[in-house]
Amino acid sequence: TVKLWDTATGQCQQTLEGHSHWVSSVAFSPDGRQLASGSDDRTVKLWDTATGQCQQTLEGHGSSVWSVAFSPDGRQLASGSDDKTVKLWDTATGQCQQTLEGHSSWVSSVAFSPDGRQLASGSYDETVKLWDTATGQCQQTLEGHSSLENVFEVAIQEPTGDPMGQRHMLSQQDVWIKNRSQNIVWLPPEYRASSCAVNGSKIAVGCPSGRVLLLYFKSEYLQL
């Protein structure tokens, strides 16, 4: 199941039932009216957050769906799977628009750029790939993580002076938060990431201990 909670009261507002196996990822649409859920049952479901009704079931992956992300305008949804592919879906019709192939292991994370023109995908093949969402072509393959550092979370920040924008990547055994390939913050073992999110000068790091670490930076160069 997926549960929707009232963050003010802590009360459960909706229980969304329909997946036949465990749910591995969820994401709200930018306007909050839809929720996407990816599951080990190989499907992605789109839910109406007001009614709790399933609007679409997106089928096509050959294995578990590990990650989902909406485009900034909410018109596209990306899903990363154990079948080594990323799929781009039309959220209005439920049709698959693109199947992005190139990873040699399962895709654990997907994230759109702020303008929606690029998609980043992180994989257990130790790479991050940047894709053109219009053509489905791979623009870059970013390498550098070791065999112990399978990439499971990626984020693309708003562009600054760099036309590609600053990129932040954390891997499962990574002990550093990095900016432009430079180590900037060392993470003690209890704060090493199980998930992360980037918003401007702020980074949220989800820790296996159950804690969330919020880091605030003073400038685009990410100095604490």
> Mean pLDDT throughout 106-120?
89
What band does 172 get if pLDDT is binned at 50, 70 and 90? Answer: very low
Whether residue 26 is found in the same domain as residue 114: yes
Task: Kindly state whether residues 146 and 190 are assigned to the same domain.
Answer: no
Quick check: is 211 in a domain?
Answer: yes
Same domain, yes or no, for 200 and 140? no
Count how many domains the chain has.
2
Can you give the residue range of the structural domain that contains 190? 167-224
Q: Which of 137, 156, 175 is the C-terminal boundary of a domain?
A: 156
From residue 131, how far is each of 62, 168, 169, 214 by CA, in Å? 21, 16, 16, 29
- Kindly tell me the burial class for residue 217, based on how many C-beta atoms sit within 10 Å of its own C-beta (0-12, 13-18, 19 or more): middle
Task: Please state, in angstroms and rounded to a whole number, the distance separating the CA atoms of residues 60 and 2.
Answer: 21
pLDDT band (50, 70, 90) for residue 195: low
Residues 149 and 171 in one domain: no
∠ CA 51-96-80, rounded to 5°: 85
Q: Tens of pLDDT along 136-166?
A: 999 988 776 554 344 445 555 455 444 334 4
Task: Verify that 31 and 86 share a domain, yes or no.
Answer: yes
Instruction: Please give the radius of gyration of the chain, using alpha carbons only, rounded to the nearest integer.
Output: 17
Is 161 among the domain residues? no
Tell me how far the alpha carbon of residue 4 is from its chain's centroid: 19
| Domain contains 50 | yes
What local confidence, expressed as pLDDT, does residue 145 receive? 54
How far, in Å, CA of 98 to CA of 199, rounded?
A: 27
Model pTM score = 0.71
For residue 123, the model assigns a pLDDT of 85
Tokens coding 193: 């990431």
